[in-house]
Amino acid sequence: MIRSRTFTVKEGGVRLDAALLLHFPTSTRAFVREAVESGGVLVDGRRAAKGLKLRGGETIDVRSLAEASDNTVAPDPSVDAPCVFEDESLLAYDKPAGMPVQPLKRSELGTLMNGVVVRHPECIPLGDRPLLAGAVHRIDADTSGLVLVARTAEAFECLRGQFAAQTVEKTYLALVEGTVAVGGTLENDLVHDPTLPFCRMIDVHHNRLTRAQCEGLKPLHAVTNFRPVEFISTETEEQTLLEVTIFTGVTHQIRAQLAIAGMHIVNDRLYGAFAVENMTGHRLHALAAKFRHPVSGEQMDVRTPYPRWAAAFGRR
């Protein structure tokens, strides 16, 4: 963290944010923007916009400016997710629904990784991107269940390699609307819908996009296997509990592919499911993963308990 530093701009015609990065190359554009907007940087004693064009001769007072090395996950002792497996190189957690896996910025709290680093600070510097803190993969915030976390750099590289090679078998439970009588395999080339300001995945071959809108999109091939395991029927609705297995890991893969096939996950309104009164989130749970242990090479099968909503199917 850069604190209480002052310098004078010698030449004019340079934007304030560019001048700060030139003088403090260990910072980042995001941190410069954050510091200027929060009043951590003053120009001749006054707050200024990051895009201010300097004339030359101004005195820049830097009260506080974060550096790239400060971009780490902040410990949050209030986060408490059950740990279902632990050894010297690997952790596995049962993440609650509604909790993000990792923060999007260093000031964010309440995510799984904020809680992990309280008990395992060795995870803080791990990962190939800032704020991963050893998380080997991610699941959606409203999806509950298994998240694997590495405790060493070697374990992280090994596990990420297995995910990249699509050798990790991931099993989910999905509660869907209606009756699904038989299982099957779904294959789609998924892309982010470019017409929406938020993330929603669509099949690049079956949509209402124009040819121009499709240009530049990079589809990701997703394969999802599913089989029905339980049914529930009331006077007003029918639901099916599916066991879903995937090796690929495309964003929203299971949610999108099941919806495209007409099997909407209960309360997943982003993908067309009916809204359920007094229900938050959707009914998708990451149940288990099979992979090689990053040190011993032993075949692992790490599992979480069934979620509470599966109790209606006699599964606990």
pLDDT, tens digit (0-9, with 9 covering 90-100), for 267-283: 999 999 999 988 889 99
Q: Are 149 and 134 in contact (CB under 8 A)?
A: yes
Residues 177 and 239 reside in one and the same domain: yes
Distance set, CA 126 to CA 59, 90, 113, 186, 287 (Å): 38, 12, 11, 34, 25
**What residues make up the domain containing 87?**
83-165
pLDDT by residue for the chain (316 residues), tens only, comes to: 899 899 898 888 889 999 999 889 999 898 899 899 989 999 999 998 888 899 888 899 999 998 888 889 999 999 989 999 999 999 999 999 999 999 998 889 999 999 999 999 999 999 988 899 999 999 999 999 999 999 999 999 999 999 999 999 999 999 999 999 999 999 999 999 999 999 999 999 888 888 888 888 899 999 999 999 999 887 778 999 999 999 999 999 999 999 999 999 999 999 999 999 888 899 999 999 999 999 999 999 999 999 998 876 766 5
Q: Are 142 and 281 in contact (CB under 8 A)?
A: yes
In 3D space, the residue among 137, 154, 63, 76 whose CA is nearest the CA of residue 286 turns out to be 137
Residues 176 and 278 reside in one and the same domain: yes
Report how many domains make up the chain. Answer: 3
Residues 91 and 66 reside in one and the same domain: no
Which residues, 6 or more positions from 46, have their beta carbon under 8 angstroms from its beta carbon?
A: none
Residue 258 backbone zone (phi > 0: left; psi -120 to 50: alpha; other: beta): alpha
Residues 153 and 174 reside in one and the same domain: no
Residues 62 and 119 reside in one and the same domain: no
Residues 130 and 63 reside in one and the same domain: no
In a domain, 314, yes or no: no
Residues 203 and 270 reside in one and the same domain: yes
* Beta strand pairing call for 59-65 and 41-43: antiparallel
Q: How far apart are CA 81 and CA 262, in angstroms?
A: 33
Last residue of a domain, one of 165, 193, 208: 165
**Per-residue pLDDT at 316:** 57
Per the structure block, which two tokens stand in for 276? 């359920």
In a domain, 23, yes or no: yes
List the CATH number of the domain containing 239: 3.30.2350.10
Q: Are 265 and 275 in contact (CB under 8 A)?
A: no
Residues 206 and 146 reside in one and the same domain: no
In a domain, 291, yes or no: no
List the CATH number of the domain containing 47: 3.10.290.10
In a domain, 296, yes or no: no
Last residue of a domain, one of 165, 187, 207: 165
Q: How far apart are CA 158 and CA 148, in angstroms?
A: 12
**Per-residue pLDDT at 314:** 61
Residues 29 and 111 reside in one and the same domain: no
Which pTM was predicted? 0.86
Q: How far apart are CA 271 and CA 1, in angstroms?
A: 43
Residues 268 and 211 reside in one and the same domain: yes
Residues 156 and 235 reside in one and the same domain: no
**Cβ count within 10 A of residue 83:** 15
| CA-CA-CA-CA dihedral for 47, 52, 53, 54, to nearest 10 | 10
In a domain, 17, yes or no: yes
**Per-residue pLDDT at 150:** 98
Residues 117 and 137 reside in one and the same domain: yes
Q: How far apart are CA 149 and CA 115, in angstroms?
A: 12
DSSP secondary structure string for all residues of 85-110: EE-SSEEEEEEPTT--SS-SSTT--S
In 3D space, the residue among 315, 298, 299 whose CA is nearest the CA of residue 307 turns out to be 315
Give the residue ranges of DSSP H helices in the chain.
16-23, 29-38, 112-119, 153-164, 211-214, 253-260
Distance set, CA 271 to CA 98, 214, 253 (Å): 17, 20, 11
Q: What is the largest CA-CA distance in the chain?
A: 78
In a domain, 315, yes or no: no
Per the structure block, which two tokens stand in for 98? 């509604």
In a domain, 160, yes or no: yes
Last residue of a domain, one of 165, 192, 210: 165
